[in-house]
Homo-oligomer: A and B are copies of this chain.
């Protein structure tokens, strides 16, 4: 089994609300494979997919009820400390839910958290120990 992930699928309450969030706030563009039932976004070597939560649970074959902490977070590492704080301010100005303000944290970087319309948590972090290639891949 290779060390990779191909798709992250986020279950959403309203596909239009969530795709608007990722397209207008994050500025990501849905791929041509997207339609009214599912949205795909090409990320670094993988896809992010948005799919109605109830249908995702149905696909797995389990109950769709769930509440509280999902115990999973996604992180976007910025290329500089400045970029992190600017990004957080832009999110705030756009009415995005700021779960934790960007701040210096114990591991030596800076980090904050926002929530997407369904409460999926994105950490925005500047980690001075992480290096990127030109495409934003972490190596």
Contact = CB atoms under 8 A, between A and B. Distances in A.
Residue from A41, A53, A64, A136 having most chain B Cβ neighbours under 10 A: A136
A101 B120 CA distance: 27
Interface of A: 1-12, 26-29, 33, 41-48, 53, 56-57, 59-77, 87, 99-100, 105, 111, 113, 118, 120-121, 123, 125, 129-130, 135-139
22 contacts: A1-B26, A2-B136, A3-B28, A3-B42, A4-B135, A5-B74, A6-B125, A7-B74, A9-B73, A9-B75, A10-B72, A11-B73, A33-B129, A42-B139, A45-B138, A57-B71, A59-B105, A60-B73, A60-B123, A64-B71, A65-B69, A71-B120
